[in-house]
């Protein structure tokens, strides 16, 4: 890495923070949503295998890291050097098999050690570091993954699917009553169990659903366009007519 380029970027951020009216007004809270959005744009460019776009989006994420650090420096809480020191120390501390004498048998042992080291650092819970702000499917996956690393997990995939079926039956029973809260709880249990089954199949549920959402969007818009091309409006079509174009979209997209 060219250190001069990084230093130049830091100088640019400091300058816009000092001289741009908008940048001067920003706080951690005001740009928090933008920071999250940039992370999702990174994920989207990876999904699309658009590596030129990934390069651009990673730059946006880097900008947010530096900008948050500059806001903190202005508030006398910490600075960019502190951020770099913290992550450097953490990487060395959590890789004793790289920077120390510890020997490991493979990836699984590395991950188990990682969780144990975090507890030694003062974490009170293995799953306590999973952000509540994560999308719910992704958070469920991470919670289950973290629990698995200390051995709290199902032994066989068939048992995980049996749990899915059990939760579906419990939801069906809840449907007979008018307790909306209970139905929501049981439906949440179904989703949580499905996420677990996805994990056992090495599927990222967030990515899987995002792919399905994209597929639905493309097929629905294909149907919309075909109806508009025929000189009609969607609201004037019957379900059968819409379904004809929907099925046609499956052969095209």
User: Residues 193, 137: contact at Cβ < 8 Å?
Assistant: no
**CA 88 – CA 39 distance, rounded (Å):** 21
Instruction: Return the pLDDT at 57.
Output: 97
Instruction: Return the pLDDT at 113.
Output: 86
Categorize the per-residue pLDDT at 215 as very low, low, confident or very high, splitting at 50, 70 and 90: very high
The CATH code of the domain at 3-92 is 1.10.287.1080
Torsion of CA 249, 250, 251, 253, to 10 degrees: 70
Torsion of CA 52, 56, 61, 64, to 10 degrees: 180
* Burial (CB count within 10 angstroms: exposed 0-12, middle 13-18, buried 19+), residue 70: buried
Delimit the domains of the chain by residue range. 3-92, 136-203, 207-252
**CA 24 – CA 34 distance, rounded (Å):** 16
- Structurally, at CATH architecture level, domain 136-203 sits in Orthogonal Bundle (1.10)
* Burial (CB count within 10 angstroms: exposed 0-12, middle 13-18, buried 19+), residue 231: exposed
Instruction: Return the pLDDT at 235.
Output: 87
Instruction: Return the pLDDT at 195.
Output: 97
* pLDDT mean over 73-80: 97
Instruction: Summarize pLDDT for 175-214 with one digit per residue, the tens.
Output: 888 789 999 999 999 999 999 999 999 999 998 999 999 9
Against a cut of 0.75, is the pTM above it? no
| pLDDT cut 70: percent of the chain above it | 100
| pLDDT cut 90: percent of the chain above it | 74
- Between 14-18, 62-66, 71-75, 145-149, the lowest mean confidence (pLDDT) is in 145-149
Categorize the per-residue pLDDT at 227 as very low, low, confident or very high, splitting at 50, 70 and 90: very high
Instruction: Return the pLDDT at 222.
Output: 95
CA distance readout (Å), 181 to 158, 164, 185, 209: 29, 20, 6, 25
* Residue 216, both tokens: 């639905």
Instruction: Return the pLDDT at 252.
Output: 86
Task: Supply the angle between the helices 80-93 and 51-74 in degrees, to the nearest 10.
Answer: 120
Please report where in the chains the tokens 């390069």 appear, as a residue: 55
């Amino acid at each position: 890495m060219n250190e001069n380029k990084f230093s130049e970027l830091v100088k640019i951020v400091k300058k816009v923070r000092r001289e741009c009216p908008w940048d001067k007004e920003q706080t951690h809270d005001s740009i928090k949503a933008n920071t999250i959005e940039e992370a999702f744009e990174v994920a989207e460019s990876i999904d699309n295998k658009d590596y030129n776009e990934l390069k651009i989006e990673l730059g946006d994420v880097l900008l947010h890291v530096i900008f948050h650090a500059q806001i903190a420096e202005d508030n006398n809480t910490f600075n960019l050097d502190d951020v770099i020191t913290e992550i450097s120390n953490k990487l060395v501390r959590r890789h004793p098999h790289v920077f120390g004498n510890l020997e490991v048998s493979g990836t699984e042992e590395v991950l188990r050690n990682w969780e144990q080291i975090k507890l030694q650092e003062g974490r009170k819970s293995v799953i306590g570091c999973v952000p509540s702000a994560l999308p719910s499917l992704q958070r469920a996956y991470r919670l289950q993954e973290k629990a698995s690393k200390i051995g709290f997990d199902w032994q066989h995939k068939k048992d995980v699917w049996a749990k899915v079926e059990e939760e579906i039956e419990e939801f069906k029973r809840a449907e007979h009553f008018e307790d909306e809260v209970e139905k929501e709880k049981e439906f949440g249990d179904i989703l949580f169990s499905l996420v677990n089954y996805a994990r056992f199949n090495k599927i990222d549920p967030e990515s899987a659903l995002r792919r399905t959402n994209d597929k639905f969007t493309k097929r629905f818009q294909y149907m919309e366009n075909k109806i508009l091309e025929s000189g009609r409006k969607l609201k004037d079509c019957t379900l059968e007519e819409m379904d004809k174009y929907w099925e046609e979209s499956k052969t095209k997209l």
